[in-house]
Each structure stands twice: as C-alpha cells, then as structure tokens.
A and B are shown apart, each in its own frame.
Chain A
Amino acid sequence: MPPAVTPDRAAARSPRSRTTSGHQPVTVAWLMLVPAIILMVTFLIIPIILTFGLAFTNARLISPEPARFIGLDNFTRLFSSPTFWRSLQNTVVFALVIVPVQSAIALGLALLINAKVRGVNFFRTVYFLPVVTSMVVVSMLWMFMYQPNGLINVLLAKIGIDGPDWLGDPRTALFAIIVLSIWQAVGMHMVIWLSGLQTIPGELYEAAALDGAGPWRQFLHVTWPGLRQTATFILITITIAAFSLFTQVNIMTQGGPLDSTSTVVFQAVRTGFQQQQTGYASAISLVFFAIVLVVSLIQRYLTRDKEARR
C-alpha cells in the first residue's frame, strides 16, 4: 500500500511547491499508476462485479445455454442448505480459536527470540520454516502424522494413550486442522510481532527497570502499549486468513467426515468447479464477501476508537 500512496501524494504536492515546472510530475505519476490500476481492475474489480452479477443467475461452468436471471433462487437454496450453515459454523469456530491462540503463541515466540542470547537466529529460522513451506506440502506431511498409525498416535501410545483417527473422526477433525494451521502460520506473525518489539526504545526498559518494574510489569506497561499498532495489524490479518480457510481442508479432508471440516470457501470452490454451478458458487462467494466485509468493518471501528482515545 505505501508505495502506491507516496507518488500520489508527491504528485499532489508538487504543483504547489514547484509551480514553474508545470503539470509534468502529475502525468508521470499517473503513468506509473497505470500498471497497478490495470492489474487491480482486471483481477479484482472485474471479478467482483462479475460475482455480483452471476450470483443472481443460473450460470454454469459448462453449458450450451446462456445464463438466465433467476432472482434470489441461489440465496434461498443456500440458506436452506444444512451444509452451508455447518460450513459457516466451522469457519466461525476456526476463526474464534485461531485469532487469540495463534497471535498469543506468536507473541510468546517473538518475546523468546527477541532475547539477546547466542543461537537466536537458529530458532528464528526454525520457527519461520513452516511459513515458507507451501501449505500443500505441510498438509500432506501432517496427513501422515495424523493417520491412525501415524507419528502422533505412535507417540501417544508410548505414554499409554490410544489416539483417535484424527482426521477421520468428526469430533477431532476440525481441531486437528486448527493445530496444523496454527503451527504453519505462527512464524509469520512472530516476525511481525518481532518487528514491533524492535521499535520499542531500549531506554524505556531501562527506565522501567530503574523504577523497580519486574519483567511482568515491564511487559504490561512498556511492551504491550508499544505493540498496539502491531496488534491491530495482526488481529486483522489473522482473522481474514482464518475466514479463507481452504487449502488444508481441500487436501486433508474434503470437508468430511460428515461436514465437520467443510468451510465456506471450500464449499464455494467445490460448487463452482467440481459441480460446475458458477451462479450458485458466486452466491456463496458473495455471502462470504459480505461476512468478511462486516467483520473487518467492525474491527476497524473498534481499533479506530482506541486510537482516538489515546
């Protein structure tokens, strides 16, 4: 985002500061914006408009007949589908668990590796490794670990616990996917927390220490206030990532067993591509779009409120 804003601002300011040079910088700025605008329009704006339109038609991926306007039929069908409500419920549960747990673990890790000890770079790399590994690969690996006779159950058996079929049991499947997702993305957010931690001036800690504050009070009154901007950012990115849960489900469970891991995005992709119902899938996407929009608006409102109070 910032790079897109800067030339714009420069362009707005320059005619006033350098009136003699005419409007050339504005032209240049626009020229530089063109590639970004073309990409945005082609890959963001047009698909969104198409989704809005298609959601009210019976358009299909493969069909000799043109799409027909069918009003709200897709939505009536969607809201009466038990799979949709189950998918929505799974998505919300996933987000509600992931957001606090993942951000807390990431903060813990960031605090740990922010310490000035030897070998810290090694741990930074280790925690960050899953992030640079493709989610497809990660899902495959964890699938083997989650098998009834896989690594996890073998370890559990050593301490006398008879582990379940993690991905095959409706009671444990979503939990298994949550654990894997946290593990995969925690490194990413750890790095963001870390960058936030490193913006806090060391003098503040020295002053706090001189005032007699212990580690916990230092965290509460120096670290946490200093991380407020970072926290906002992490909260929003994790929430949105959580809502778009798809890859893990597609590879590991295909929404099963008994819809226990189905999500809204998974349902949209399955309906749109496997079942060829473009119109219906657009309706699902539209509902998903609305949900995420509302959630991020609420978050924006809440975080803006805090900034105003400061």
Chain B
Amino acid sequence: MTTGIIKKVAAAGVAAALSVSLGACAKGGSSTTNQGTSANGTTELAMWTHNAGNEEELGAITAIVDDFNASQTKYKVNIQAFPQDSYNQSVVAAAASKKLPCILDTDGPNVPNWAWAGYLAPLEGLDDTLGKFLPATVGKYKDQNYSYGYYDVALAMFSRKSVLEKHGIRIPTVDQPWTQAEFDGALKKLKDSGEYAYPLDIATGSTGEWWPYAYSPMLQSFGGDLIDRTDFKSADGVLNGPEAVAWATWFRSLVTNEWVAAKSGADSTKDFVNGQSAILYNGSWSAKDARAAFGDDLVVLPPPDLGHGPKIGGGSWQWAMSSSCSAPEGAMEYMKFAAQDKYVASVAEATRNIPATDAAANQVEAFKPGGENDIFRQFAKEFAVVRPETPGYPFIATEFTKTAQDIINGADPQQALDQAVLNIDANQQSNNYFE
C-alpha cells in the first residue's frame, strides 16, 4: 500500500534512474565502437538523433554520415537514433551522467537552455557558412552559433479559392495580407453562411509546444511578446501590456464568436480536408494532404496582419556538438562537412520542409522560385520570429501555454497575463537572469 504513495513521490527518481541505466545499457553494448580510437587509428564519434521512426529524415542523415565516413580515414561517425518522445529526457539524463555523444540534434528553442547548461559547445569557424542559412535555422546564444538546421517549417493559412470567392472574400498575398478587420469580417461572413460550425481551425486541440509556436506569433503581430527581448530579464509590459491584452481579448473573441472551437478535433488537417472548416491555420506540413484533396483550388495564405505585420514561428530541429566531446576537432569537421548545400537540399527534400539556404532551395523542385512550396519559404523569410533566445524559454513556453488555454476558456485577460508575467519574472530572477 505504501508503495502506492511512495511510487508517485519517487517517480522522478525512478524515471531518472531508469533513463540513465537504459542510456548506459544502450551505450554499454557498443561503448568501444561509439567513442574512442579503434585499432586502425580512426577516432569514433557518437551521434544522437531524435529520428527513430522517421525513416525519410533518418535516411537522409545516414547518407550524410556515410559520405563523411567515406571522405576521410581519421574519424568515423556512428548514428544512434532515439524516438522523439524520449529523446530530450535521454539527452538530459546523459548530460547528468556526463555521457553525452559528440554530435546531437536539438529542438531549436531548447538550444539556449542547453548552451547555458553547458551541454553544447559553440560552433567556431562556421560563421560564413551559417550566414547563408535562414536566421531561424541557426541556434544562437549570447552572440555565438551553437547549432544549425537543414530546414525550417512555416505556419500558414490554408483555404479554398472557390470558398473565398463564393463569400466575396479577398484572397490575401504576401505583400497584402489580411488586416485584422478584414480577417474578422471574413470569419463573420463564413460563420453567417451557416455552412461551418467553426469556420477557422487553429488546432486548439493540439497540446504542448504547439501553443507558443502557433499563437505567440499572433501576440507578436499585435505588438506584444513573450519577454522583453532587449535584455531577456522581464516579461512585464510586453506580455501584460495593452497590446497583449488586446491580443488576449481578440483571441478569446474567436471562441465567443464561434469562429474557432475552444478545443478543435484531433486532426485539424483532416477536418479541413473533409470540409468541416473553411480556413486552416497550421504548419507547412499540412500542404501535402490539402493539395491532394483540393488540387489547384487550394490557396496558401499568409497569416493576418494584426497590427505589426504577419508573424510566424521560426526554428525547428537543429544539429549541435556537445561540450564534453573527447574529439572536438573531429566533431567540428563533421559539422562543417554536413553544412554543405547539397545536404541541406537532400534533407529538406526528404522531409518536404523548407531548405535552410537559397542555394539548396534552388536544388529542390518544390522550393525553387515559383515552385509549389516556394510560398512557405517566402513566409519563413519575411515573417519568421524565433522563440526568445533565453535559457528560460522552456519555462516561458509552459506558462504561455497555460495562460493562453485559460484565456481561451474565459479567464480574465489582464489577470491571467499578469500572473504569467509574475511567474516568468520570478523564474528569470531565481536563475539570476541566466547570467
């Protein structure tokens, strides 16, 4: 019986112990081949990725590693793939037991946190190469590059030409996005037509990182932000100022006007394809299914300009090297080798995401200027805002998620935002502002 109580209390310890021991087992089996020098003088480097279960991306990465291993005899990189769900815990557990691999991938917004914690080493001598990457695909902390990614994804609105034309709604462009009044008007027209229970689907049924990724750009478009980016010390005034309150009030009005469901269905792309919603707000990954369903009738629209221009989230999975690597020059050599345009192109092609460099984009059919997905690349270039580059980001993300959920469920905007600011500021302060 007591086990029942204590189990919960000890859950943290057990989970940590388990992941450590599992990590140790996984490494233990092949520890001699993972890192260190083998008989013929090649230094072996371990590399971790979250791509287990994602065949296309893992295949593209494996091809790069094979090329690298064949290109020289000094180093050999060994890939170990983890499922995405347990990847971050594995890295944290490995870091705690000082067993990080030389090369690893990280989710963009985590980079400052991991760099601050001392997990990652800065990438030196890559500034020229990384200057050609989309800004959101390079992980920075304190003016140093810590990671780069092969691709980015973009948020967009999807709709159908026939639907918009039928209701007399202007089709917006990158240069002329909808204004807030136009957007609200369009939603009202669609709702009043009676054809849709909820004309707009912004995937409120999703959880976790989706909330800050998808909805903080709306806040930014209103002129607010998650934290004051001049010194990353406080959220006061930006997350609870008049602009933020205006955003929260508008965000809540989407639900009270019945334009958006407080909790949308499990798969918003499917609901859109099945005609349940007129406009879908989702990532560029929805394009494939939507295009398959509607063909030329599908229109990809920029998010509305809510006062300060359209904004979308930036930053996806990126590659970095660990600070505890025993052969940093080897890891660095790999990082340089793998940053070539042809690899950016091959990974972006395999994952159908936006290539990080112009040169690579020219090699991928869909993303060439005029290609069917070029518009996402334009969005990423014009509108992308990275999530705040502070080690406090994981905390800010959870606070924003909870606050936005409370607002959509009817919490008082000013009160909810003030509480979030209080919590974020307390966290920044208790960490000495991550100095």
Question: For the complex, is B4 an interface residue (Cβ under 8 Å from A)?
Answer: yes
Q: Contact between A274 and B394 (Cβ–Cβ < 8 Å)?
A: yes
| Chain B: CB-nearest residue to A244 | B8
Instruction: Verify if A7 is at the interface (C-beta below 8 Å from B).
Output: no
Residues of B contacting A240 with CB < 8 Å? 1, 4-5
B114–A289 touching, CB < 8 Å: no
What is the 8 Å Cβ interface bit string for chain B, positions 1-44, against chain A (1 contact, 0 not)?
11111111111111001000000000000000000000000000
B338 to chain A, nearest CB (A): 26
Instruction: State how many angstroms separate the Cβ of B427 from the closest Cβ of chain A.
Output: 8
Whether, in the assembled complex, A51 has its beta carbon less than 8 Å from a beta carbon of chain B, the answer is yes
Chain B positions 237 through 276: 1 when the CB is less than 8 Å from some CB of chain A, otherwise 0: 0000000000000000000000001110110000000000
> Are A62 and B92 touching (Cβ within 8 A)?
yes
Which of B1, B9, B263 makes the CB contact (< 8 A) with A296? B1
Asked whether any CB of chain B lies closer than 8 Å to the CB of A25, the reply is no
Chain A: residues with Cβ within 8 Å of the partner, total of 53
**The residue from A43, A47, A64, A257 contacting B118, defined by CB atoms under 8 A apart:** A64
User: Residue A50 at the B interface, CB < 8 A?
Assistant: yes
Q: Which residues of B contact A272 (CB under 8 A)?
A: 12
Looking at the complex, which of B217-225, B324-332, B402-410 is the stretch in contact with chain A?
A: B402-410
* Secondary structure call for the A interface: helix
Looking at B5, B207, B266, B405, the one whose CB has the most chain A CB atoms below 10 A away is B5
CA distance A236 to B2 in the complex (A): 10
Which of B3, B14, B92, B261 is the one whose CB lies under 8 Å from A47? B14
Are A258 and B92 in touch, CB under 8 angstroms?
no
- Given A269-B11, A270-B398: A289 touches B411 (CB 8 Å cut-off): no
Closest to B255 in A: A168
Interface-centre pick from B92, B263, B266 (highest chain A CB count, 10 A): B263
Q: Which chain A residues border B394 with CB–CB below 8 Å?
A: 274-276
In the bound complex, do residue A48 and residue B409 qualify as a contact, i.e. CB atoms below 8 Å apart?
A: no
A258 lies within 8 A of B5 (CB) = no
Beta-carbon contact of B9 and A285 below 8 Å: yes
B139 to chain A, nearest CB (A): 16
> Chain A residues near B8 (CB, 8 Å)?
244, 246, 265, 285, 288
* Smallest beta-carbon distance A254→chain B, Å: 6
User: Is there an interface contact between B262 and A168, defined as CB atoms closer than 8 Å?
Assistant: yes
A241 at the interface (CB under 8 A from B): yes
Take A63-B117, A64-B117 as given contacts and tell me if A50 and B1 are in contact as well, using a CB distance cutoff of 8 Å.
no
Instruction: Output the residue of A168, A236, A259 with the most chain B CB within 10 A.
Output: A168
Residues on B close to A: CB < 8 A?
A: 1-14, 17, 92, 95, 113-114, 116-119, 207, 261-263, 265-266, 394-395, 398-399, 402, 405-406, 409-411, 426-427, 430-431
- Can you list 24 A-B pairs with a CB-CB distance of less than 8 A? A44-B10, A46-B13, A47-B6, A50-B13, A77-B426, A165-B263, A167-B263, A168-B409, A243-B5, A244-B5, A244-B7, A246-B8, A254-B207, A255-B402, A256-B405, A256-B409, A257-B262, A257-B410, A258-B411, A270-B398, A272-B12, A275-B395, A278-B12, A285-B12
Chain A interface (Cβ < 8 Å from any Cβ of B)? 42-44, 46-48, 50-51, 58, 60-64, 77, 144, 147-148, 165, 167-168, 170, 236-237, 240-241, 243-244, 246, 254-259, 265, 269-270, 272-278, 281-282, 285, 288-289, 292-293, 296
In the complex, besides A46-B13, A64-B117, 10 extra interface pairs with C-beta distance below 8 angstroms are A42-B17, A44-B10, A48-B10, A63-B117, A64-B116, A144-B266, A237-B4, A240-B5, A256-B409, A289-B6
- Closest CB pairs A-B (n = 9): A47-B13, A47-B10, A257-B409, A62-B117, A64-B118, A292-B5, A240-B4, A244-B8, A168-B263
